[in-house]
Structure 1
């Protein structure tokens, strides 16, 4: 019977998970791409930024790509904003830095640049790369294109992978770190390219482009009658103007379909290639670890390289006093009208122990299902990370 990462933990002591050595990962010059993935709200953006900053300080030439619309990455790196082009992060590698880097040498020559995906601009660049300027402008002006390039389901994930492919093709950086989109499901990042390219090569799209593809007069007549029946049916649902816009878009876009599929496949192969490492980011909560478990299984199915899991916002207990003894002591002090501050501290400790035990139980379910996945846990910070010093502190915890 397969282990259930979301069910109740069976009795028995769980095996301690393997430790994930992130310094070894970022110091390995064979590591060219790190993809941070996981469900929303688990700290992917902070993890990606902290890893990028640490790698740069250890001598790597790094670019970090974020898809976070809240712009937290820019703020934490001391930048007013990020855009679709990489820009240097001032102070990322302090002068005189002596952090140990690849091969055990002091980190030198490192640099860090950061960018935030502009979905529409990336889509525009892809169109310009496959057609003439006049035809590209006709596509840009089409209302149907304006809709799918900004709001079609899966476009953001597709363009994130497109931008990753562009960055890798330049050869400008020796390490690319990607903060994947805050999707409902982490699996959307892997599924979106196929979903979007399937849409663009689907039956409805082929019908919309049929008049332009028809060759001889007899064929045009046959295709035309079929298209008219199709158009009549669809226009009652979408409206005549939207159908006309969609048809014009598809006919102008027809020559790009093959390029879309080709680029999607190329980037997908990049994710499977040696030198790529996936980091699954989660928090010690059932839903986040269930999503992480699904992603680990999917990566295994797709034969994609998993480095391990970062477990954020944990609550370790460093004192040896048990929660039951702490609560008992607090009750004794309160009954005797003793020191109220001590009683409050004991209750806080008891609550912390209960939280840590709950987190251990939840994590044990994951490790039983995936015993070979190395893990590093990062304790919850007292304050939000909002500058480079905060990111460096997270980097130290990631490497501890």
Structure 2
């Protein structure tokens, strides 16, 4: 079956599109796809920032930069009407910025010096996803860029930031947090009398499990951060709702491999369940043949006939025919996998992108990929629509 066509050019040129989130399994070219779309949008006159949450350095390499950090860096794009910026999420620095922005200098310093905060802001499970929501919210709030493209981490954790508001809520409403903050919330010595007995028993039990010093660090951290908790949750929830609104689109990226397409199905189902706007699937690194007029079977038979006939160039011609047969076989397998995905998700638009000859590591390579992503649906060497690898069979 043929999937609906995905018009990525209209998506990135539409001024009402403000956020594009690229997600998918690891190793499918998601970072390169994000960078290529960002460059194409800049060439269309837009002011773009591409944010990667993936700690690998692929985005910087693709854009010809030595490194990326937590602040947007301008990418030199001579002759381009728009502007292109790029950045990589620094989890701890983003957390530090939030603390500085929402507390007094003395309170911020107290938090920064707390050992539990130092561990939480660097490696605590879920912190990266929450900080990704914070950073996205910050970028959108500045209104400095009219398009933000987010390159999410590899694997299913790519969508974990959608859970950030709920995780923050569960953290703040947890029994331990409520007990640790009870004295401060009750207020003064009278509050300590009210909660003192229960808190003392709780402290003794937890001290045996965690150790007295860690418990004191956690209690001190929670007390210092208590007034900021509500703002954390509110901002995460606001960003989550922003992702569901018109102006945001999710692009799922996969390769024509069983595992990658299973992950793509997971992303599609998850986005649907969350009510997130899905633009479609980019099926990357496909292998369309140079011509579809000659089947693999006929090419193999022709190779045998050429060799039997002999003559000058027979071996070369037979080799070329066999290469074509292998390419047709591979394309047929990839199309079968793509058709299986489309049968399960008939409403999802698809755009196929041929595999590049080598790694994409500069702006020229990104422009080539951008043309594949945004070119007219039927503008291909064989005339096969970009929704497919091979032409649809006639029924």
TM-score bin (small chain): 0.7 to 0.9
Work out which of the residue numbers 265, 276, 293 in structure 1 matches 2:237.
Answer: 265
Structure 1 residues 39 and 192: alpha-carbon distance in aligned structure 2, compared to 1, 3 A threshold: farther
Do structure 1's residue 282 and structure 2's residue 257 form an aligned pair? no
Partner of 2:351: 376
Unaligned stretches of 5+ residues in structure 2: 376-395
Compute the TM-score of the two structures, normalised by the length of structure 1. 0.87
Partner of 2:33: 47
Do structure 1's residue 322 and structure 2's residue 312 form an aligned pair? no
Structure 1 residues 226 and 355: alpha-carbon distance in aligned structure 2, compared to 1, 3 A threshold: farther
Structure 1 residues 345 and 275: alpha-carbon distance in aligned structure 2, compared to 1, 3 A threshold: same
Deviation at 1:226, TM superposition (A): 2.0
Do structure 1's residue 18 and structure 2's residue 4 form an aligned pair? yes
Partner of 1:159: 131
Q: How many residues were matched structurally?
A: 372
- SS class of match (2:3): coil
Q: Distance in 2 between matches of 1:340 and 1:148?
A: 65
Structure 1 residues 241 and 346: alpha-carbon distance in aligned structure 2, compared to 1, 3 A threshold: farther
- SS class of match (1:40): coil
- SS class of match (2:289): coil
Partner of 1:101: none
Q: Distance in 2 between matches of 1:51 and 1:365?
A: 27
Do structure 1's residue 148 and structure 2's residue 120 form an aligned pair? yes
Query: Contact 2:133–2:164 at 8 Å: present in 1 too?
Result: no
Deviations 1:130-182 (A, max 9, x none): 11111111111111111111111221121112111111111111111111122
Partner of 2:383: none
Partner of 1:198: 170
Deviation at 1:216, TM superposition (A): 6.4
Partner of 2:332: 357
Equivalent positions of 1:45-84 (< 5 A) are 45-84=31-70
Partner of 1:136: 108
Structure 1 residues 391 and 223: alpha-carbon distance in aligned structure 2, compared to 1, 3 A threshold: same
Work out which of the residue numbers 93, 97, 105 in structure 2 matches 1:121.
Answer: 93
Q: Distance in 2 between matches of 1:194 and 1:337?
A: 71
Deviation at 1:218, TM superposition (A): 6.0
Deviation at 1:251, TM superposition (A): 1.2
Do structure 1's residue 229 and structure 2's residue 201 form an aligned pair? yes
Structure 1 residues 337 and 269: alpha-carbon distance in aligned structure 2, compared to 1, 3 A threshold: same
Query: Contact 1:180–1:189 at 8 Å: present in 2 too?
Result: no
Partner of 2:179: 207
Deviation at 1:54, TM superposition (A): 0.7
Deviations 1:200-246 (A, max 9, x none): 43222222222322336565235222223323332333222222211
Structure 1 residues 216 and 120: alpha-carbon distance in aligned structure 2, compared to 1, 3 A threshold: closer
Q: Distance in 2 between matches of 1:185 and 1:333?
A: 53
Compute the TM-score of the two structures, normalised by the length of structure 2. 0.88
Deviations 1:337-395 (A, max 9, x none): 98444444343333322222221122112211221211111111110000010111110
